[in-house]
Amino acid sequence: MPKTQLPDRYNGKSPALGHQFVHQCNNYAALHPFLDEESQIRWTLQMMEGEVAQWRDEQLEELDLGFPPNYLVYWAAFLIEFRRHWMDPHEGEKALDC
């Protein structure tokens, strides 16, 4: 198995860094598959710090309660929720304006 660098930790300060973080997490998971999507989500949450720490902790608590929402079970749903909280929803429109 190829050795890969861990993704940079995400601190919530920049939507651009959020995109980079998601790409790095996807790349890492492609090279080092997880047992299931929930494990991948838990691991990704552990890679968050700073301004994202409170949100991270809330999500981990939801997972530990036993009946998590779909976005904490399915990777695609997690990405939607992550983007909703930590990325600019109008980023695509802004890029077209430039």
Q: How far apart are CA 51 and CA 72, in angstroms?
A: 20
User: 31 phi and psi, to 5 degrees?
Assistant: -90, -25
**Which pLDDT score, from 0 to 100, does residue 91 have?**
57
Per-residue pLDDT, 3: 79
pLDDT at 95: 47
For 34-91, the pLDDT digits (tens) are 999 999 999 999 999 999 999 999 999 999 998 999 999 999 999 999 999 998 766 5
Helix (H) or strand (E) holding 59: helix 53-65
H or E, element range at 92: helix 91-97
Looking at residue 87, what is its pLDDT? 87
More confident residue, 1 or 44: 44
What is the 3-state secondary structure of the chain?
CCCCCCCCCECCCCHHHHHHHHHHHHHHHHHCCCCCHHHHHHHHHHCECHHHHHHHHHHHHHHHHCCCCHHHCCHHHHHHHHHHHHCCCCHHHHHHHC
pLDDT tens digits, residue range 5-41?
Answer: 999 999 999 999 999 999 999 999 999 999 999 999 9
Quick one: pLDDT at residue 83? Answer: 94
Given this model, what pLDDT does residue 88 score?
74
